[in-house]
């Protein structure tokens, strides 16, 4: 047991919380997200958790971790003080003035973390994949991913000695996460340890497809994804030994990406990766060029890729990022030269008094991390707070939560060694852009400066109480996944894609939530990619200036401001640019085509001739100074030139911001209707009002026996399912 001393909120506080009414955001969509993702069936209470139940579980979990630490380390525990503190902590959480990470809402206070440690509570991690520890690094990475932790990795360009295995042996894979990860390690070691035997695996102990995964939720996939991964690893090493062009960076990234694909296919909670490589490493920079590497399409989507600038001359290559971003939306930029410092532009470069030795980032780019380090990221919600003072109190509670999580060890000794030294946390902000819009940047700047001092002071108190070092860094801006949807805000410093929005949610057809939504009249249809999944459509109103009306420069300066005034880790951001080619629709005379369509008869003779040629050939593209035709699937898509596009200024924006940030990424604004069942689609105010009126109140008495189901892959507006080149 990692925790054996427990805290329980007193009956008066519990009764008060049970009487309170939660205020979920986005016209009820936030409540649905909560029910689908974070509400668990409580076998002790015999019912599905309400928001109050989750708050109580989370609070009991946090204070149990701290109490356990105090008792084991013979530190005085004042029960009366902590009950009063926990009451205010719980009220602020219930009002959603601050929020734990999604994994904290789901796992905190459960027997899983009491028995297995804190790894499943962490948002993010990072590892370097080195030649001399290749198998161990991949095992650590897979173990972390299987616990829902997003992992950044760097495929180090170094010496990797690979030899053919000698002999064979049989290994029966245990039906555990550790068993899967260790099997992968054994297969890699067969090629990286001279004279090692080749493992043949017995999969008979692995539970069959569809069986519930106890403790961590979801349904088992059966052994198929693991078998596919192990075979893939063997083929990679055989290719590496026979093909001189198959590079060591390519080998390491291929295996790391394939591990992520296996984990997602294995039906555990959502995982993510980021691959980091040198900006002057041509092999790394072209990993997502599927014309050069078509065989990577099945695995390359698993990670975002980021180019690292680690020396002065690297910044002369920023145009290498700019030209690729226009085509693929990647790679991002990481300025590793700034990782050692806190907030960029402040006199105190090392706010904790220690130089950060971080060399990598987590998948969303908001936390700087050392090899094998993890970090817990929490969110504050200033637009939910009645005043700056209330927000500052929320900062206090959020800091206390994250600081307390770092007291609970993980099951990985190498990780504990780094966490115990750095105690790194990340206190973030939801709805930063709307906060600026409503209060003014000049006021928000002042609030941020005061808030940062609150976070620092709270961490100093909380860690001092526990007798551990203060955190090396404490603040960040995370992009937000499902948690901002609960509170009705936009994650981080992002802008809403649309004001009046049709938000789609993919839910397994057998999910206990389906009867609730069907009874309420929420529009739904079968998923076009999975006949066992339904797609429900929710009307949402998102406040603030929509992203299409925000220039690339304004987004860039918001990034600089939050990196200077708030984040001593990093600022996760996606700078959206207006693409040169604007999607207009499909060329079709079919009135039943669900997406925007344009009549063939409306075009001039030259374009009609090109369309006929492309249809007959079943492929092709055509481009002139005004139009572009692209044959995709069975459709011909029409694009027109956007005279106000921002593709030509990406390099200049990069050059301006690179010296004063730690990370950034770029994406073109998504095209409305570019593929069916997009996560978000703009609608009119009239359509929005009609849909809101048509949906009846949810009958939660129909909802039971759910253990939570997270969205797979990303949770933003760009994709939720793997669609190859169309995602």
For residue range 70-82, list pLDDT tens digits in order: 999 999 999 999 9
Lowest mean pLDDT among 221-235, 286-300, 631-645, 668-682: 668-682
Using the 3D structure, point to which of 486, 508, 530 is the last residue of a domain.
486
pLDDT of residue 720: 35
- Please, are residues 413 and 364 in contact by the beta-carbon 8 Å criterion? no
> Residue 659: is its pLDDT beyond 60?
yes
533-541 β-sheet, strand order: 524-526, 533-541, 500-508, 680-682
Average pLDDT over residues 449-470: 98
620: how many CB neighbours lie within 10 A of its CB? 15
Do 521 and 607 reside in the same domain of the chain?
no
pLDDT of residue 678: 80
Lowest mean pLDDT among 163-167, 493-497, 638-642: 638-642
Q: Is 592 helix (H, G, I), strand (E, B) or coil?
A: coil
| Band of pLDDT at residue 599, cut at 50, 70 and 90 | low
Residue 210 lies in a domain: no
Nearest to 477 by CA among 425, 404, 443, 428: 428
Q: DSSP string spanning 638-690?
A: EEEE-TT--GGGHHHHHHHHGGG-SEE-EEEPPPTTSSTT-SEEE--HHHHHH
| Band of pLDDT at residue 598, cut at 50, 70 and 90 | low
Residue 391 lies in a domain: yes
> Residue 258: is its pLDDT beyond 90?
yes
pLDDT of residue 267: 53
Do 703 and 637 reside in the same domain of the chain?
no
Do 414 and 462 reside in the same domain of the chain?
yes
| Band of pLDDT at residue 680, cut at 50, 70 and 90 | confident
> Which one is catalytic: 236, 364, 527, 664?
364
CA–CA separation, 504 and 89 (whole Å): 33
Lowest mean pLDDT among 134-138, 143-147, 606-610: 606-610
Do 513 and 480 reside in the same domain of the chain?
no
Residue 353 lies in a domain: no
Across the chain, mean pLDDT equals 91
Per-residue burial over 332-361, b = 16 or more CB atoms within 10 Å of its CB, e = otherwise: bbbbbbbbebbbbeeeeeebbeeebbbbbb
Percent of the chain with pLDDT over 70: 92
- Please, are residues 105 and 148 in contact by the beta-carbon 8 Å criterion? no
Token digits of residue 703: 């909802």
pLDDT of residue 43: 87
> Residue 597: is its pLDDT beyond 80?
no
| Widest pairwise Cα distance in the chain | 86
| Band of pLDDT at residue 604, cut at 50, 70 and 90 | confident
Cα torsion for 51, 57, 61, 62, to the nearest 10°? 30
> Residue 725: is its pLDDT beyond 80?
no
Average pLDDT over residues 585-589: 69
Return phi, psi of residue 192, to 5°.
-105, -5
Q: Which residues make Cβ contacts (< 8 Å) with residue 300, sequence separation at least 6?
A: 257, 287, 288, 290, 293
Return phi, psi of residue 194, to 5°.
-55, 130
Average pLDDT over residues 525-548: 90
- Please, are residues 320 and 277 in contact by the beta-carbon 8 Å criterion? no
> Which one is catalytic: 366, 370, 646, 647?
366
pLDDT of residue 173: 95
Which pLDDT tens digit goes with each residue over 111-133? 999 999 999 999 999 999 999 99
| Band of pLDDT at residue 600, cut at 50, 70 and 90 | low
pLDDT of residue 55: 98
pLDDT of residue 508: 84
Percent of the chain with pLDDT over 90: 78
Residue 285 lies in a domain: no
Residue 265 lies in a domain: no
3-state secondary structure 336-385: HHHCCCCCCCCCCCCCCCCCCCCCEECCCCCCEECCCCEEEEEEECHHHC
CA–CA separation, 558 and 543 (whole Å): 18
Nearest to 508 by CA among 711, 694, 353: 711
Do 529 and 628 reside in the same domain of the chain?
no
- Beta bridge pairs of residue 361: 368
> Residue 595: is its pLDDT beyond 60?
no
| Band of pLDDT at residue 529, cut at 50, 70 and 90 | confident
3-state secondary structure 120-150: HHCCEEEEEECCCCHHHHHHHHHHHHHCCCE
> Residue 434: is its pLDDT beyond 50?
yes
- 364 is a catalytic site residue: yes
| Pairing of the two strands 597-598 and 581-587 | parallel
Token digits of residue 652: 């200049």
pLDDT of residue 338: 98
Average pLDDT over residues 343-369: 95
- 189 is a catalytic site residue: no
Do 523 and 595 reside in the same domain of the chain?
no
- Burial level of 429, CB count in 10 A (0-12/13-18/19+)? buried
> Residue 651: is its pLDDT beyond 80?
yes
> Residue 65: is its pLDDT beyond 70?
yes
pLDDT of residue 424: 98
Lowest mean pLDDT among 206-220, 421-435, 518-532: 206-220
> Residue 713: is its pLDDT beyond 60?
no
| Band of pLDDT at residue 579, cut at 50, 70 and 90 | very high
Which pLDDT tens digit goes with each residue over 388-413? 999 999 999 999 999 999 999 999 99
Do 456 and 510 reside in the same domain of the chain?
no
pLDDT of residue 630: 85
- Please, are residues 345 and 660 in contact by the beta-carbon 8 Å criterion? yes
Lowest mean pLDDT among 5-9, 28-32, 526-530, 569-573: 526-530
Average pLDDT over residues 322-337: 94
Which pLDDT tens digit goes with each residue over 160-176? 999 999 999 999 999 98
- Please, are residues 532 and 422 in contact by the beta-carbon 8 Å criterion? no
pLDDT of residue 430: 97
- Please, are residues 369 and 362 in contact by the beta-carbon 8 Å criterion? yes
Average pLDDT over residues 263-292: 86
Residue 523 lies in a domain: yes
Residue 299 lies in a domain: no
Do 519 and 625 reside in the same domain of the chain?
no
pLDDT of residue 216: 56
CATH number at residue 683: 3.90.1390.10
Average pLDDT over residues 670-691: 81
Do 482 and 519 reside in the same domain of the chain?
no
State how far the alpha carbon of 460 is from the alpha carbons of 92, 226, 378, 468, in Å.
Answer: 21, 44, 17, 9
Average pLDDT over residues 582-590: 71
> Residue 722: is its pLDDT beyond 60?
no
- Burial level of 100, CB count in 10 A (0-12/13-18/19+)? buried
Q: Is 14 helix (H, G, I), strand (E, B) or coil?
A: helix
Which pLDDT tens digit goes with each residue over 28-63? 899 999 999 999 998 888 899 999 999 999 999 999
pLDDT of residue 401: 98
Do 523 and 437 reside in the same domain of the chain?
no
How many domains are contained in the chain? 3
Do 392 and 453 reside in the same domain of the chain?
yes
Do 468 and 526 reside in the same domain of the chain?
no
Question: Residue 722 is part of which domain span?
Answer: 500-541+678-726
Using the 3D structure, point to which of 616, 641, 666 is the last residue of a domain.
641
CATH number at residue 114: 3.20.70.20
- Please, are residues 437 and 547 in contact by the beta-carbon 8 Å criterion? no
> Residue 475: is its pLDDT beyond 50?
yes
pLDDT of residue 207: 87
CA–CA separation, 533 and 536 (whole Å): 10
| Band of pLDDT at residue 588, cut at 50, 70 and 90 | low
Helices in 28-78 by DSSP H: which ranges? 29-37, 51-72
Residue 187 lies in a domain: no
Q: Is 524 helix (H, G, I), strand (E, B) or coil?
A: strand
- Burial level of 637, CB count in 10 A (0-12/13-18/19+)? buried
pLDDT of residue 590: 54
């Amino acid at each position: 047991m990692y925790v054996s001393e427990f805290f329980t909120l007193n009956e008066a506080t519990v009764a008060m919380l049970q009487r309170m009414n939660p205020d979920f955001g986005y016209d009820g969509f936030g409540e649905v997200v909560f029910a689908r993702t974070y509400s668990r069936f409580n076998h002790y209470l015999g019912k599905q958790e309400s928001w109050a139940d989750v708050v109580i579980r989370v609070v009991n979990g946090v204070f149990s971790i701290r109490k356990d630490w105090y008792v084991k380390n013979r530190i005085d525990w004042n029960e009366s003080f902590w009950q009063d503190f926990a009451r205010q902590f719980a009220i602020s959480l219930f009002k959603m003035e601050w929020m734990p990470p999604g994994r904290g809402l789901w796992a905190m206070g459960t027997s899983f973390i009491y028995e297995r440690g804190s790894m499943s509570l962490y948002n993010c991690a990072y590892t370097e994949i080195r030649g001399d520890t290749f198998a161990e690094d991949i095992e650590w990475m897979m173990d972390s991913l299987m616990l829902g932790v997003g992992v950044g990795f760097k495929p180090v360009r170094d010496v990797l000695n690979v030899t053919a295995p000698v002999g064979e042996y049989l290994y029966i894979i245990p039906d555990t996460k550790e068993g899967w990860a260790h099997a992968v390690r054994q297969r890699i070691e067969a090629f990286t340890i001279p004279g090692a035997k080749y493992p043949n695996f017995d999969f008979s102990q692995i539970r069959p497809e569809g069986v519930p995964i106890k403790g961590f939720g979801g349904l088992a996939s059966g052994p198929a994804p693991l078998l596919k991964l192990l075979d893939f690893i063997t083929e990679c090493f055989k290719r590496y030994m026979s093909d001189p062009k198959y590079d060591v960076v390519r080998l390491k990234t291929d295996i790391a990406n394939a591990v992520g694909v296996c984990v997602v296919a294995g039906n555990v909670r959502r995982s993510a990766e980021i691959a980091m490589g040198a900006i002057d490493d041509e092999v790394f920079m072209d990993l997502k060029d599927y014309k050069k590497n078509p065989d990577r399409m099945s695995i390359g989507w698993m990670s975002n890729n980021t180019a690292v600038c680690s020396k002065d001359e690297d910044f002369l290559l920023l145009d290498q990022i700019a030209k690729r971003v226009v085509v693929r939306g990647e790679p991002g930029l990481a300025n590793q030269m700034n990782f050692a410092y806190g907030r960029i532009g402040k006199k105190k470069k090392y706010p904790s008094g220690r130089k950060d030795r971080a060399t990598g980032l987590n998948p969303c780019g908001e936390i700087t991390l050392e090899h094998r380090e993890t970090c817990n990221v929490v969110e504050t919600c200033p637009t939910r707070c009645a005043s700056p003072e209330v927000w500052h109190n929320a900062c206090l509670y959020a800091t206390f939560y994250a600081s307390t999580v770092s007291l609970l060890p993980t099951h990985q000794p190498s990780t504990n060694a780094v966490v115990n030294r750095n105690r790194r946390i990340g206190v973030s902000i939801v709805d930063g852009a709307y906060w600026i819009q409503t209060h003014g940047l000049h006021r928000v700047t002042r609030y941020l400066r005061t808030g940062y001092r609150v976070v620092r002071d709270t961490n100093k108190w909380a860690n001092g109480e526990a007798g551990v070092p203060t955190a090396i860094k404490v603040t960040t801006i995370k992009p937000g996944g499902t948690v901002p949807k609960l509170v009705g805000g936009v994650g981080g410093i992002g802008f809403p894609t649309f004001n009046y929005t049709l938000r789609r949610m993919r839910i397994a057809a057998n999910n206990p939530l389906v009867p609730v939504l069907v009874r309420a009249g929420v529009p739904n249809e079968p998923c076009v990619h999975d006949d066992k999944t339904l797609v429900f459509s929710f009307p949402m109103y998102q406040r603030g200036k929509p992203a299409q009306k925000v220039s690339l420069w304004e987004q860039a300066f918001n990034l600089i401001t939050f990196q200077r005034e708030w984040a001593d880790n990093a600022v996760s951001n996606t700078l959206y640019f207006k693409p040169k080619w604007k999607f207009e629709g499909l060329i079709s005379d079919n009135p039943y085509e669900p997406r925007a369509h344009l009549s063939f008869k409306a075009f001039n003779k030259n374009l009609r001739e090109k369309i006929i040629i492309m249809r007959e050939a079943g492929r092709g593209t055509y481009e002139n100074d005004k139009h572009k035709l692209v044959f995709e699937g069975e459709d011909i898509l029409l694009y027109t030139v956007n005279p106000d596009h921002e593709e030509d200024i990406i390099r200049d924006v990069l050059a301006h911001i690179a010296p004063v940030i730690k990370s950034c990424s770029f994406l073109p604004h998504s095209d409305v209707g570019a593929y069916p069942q997009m996560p978000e689609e703009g609608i009119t105010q009239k359509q929005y009002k009609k849909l809101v009126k048509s949906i009846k109140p949810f009958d939660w008495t129909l909802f039971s026996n759910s253990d939570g189901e997270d969205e797979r892959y990303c949770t933003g507006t760009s994709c939720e399912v793997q669609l190859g080149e169309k995602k």
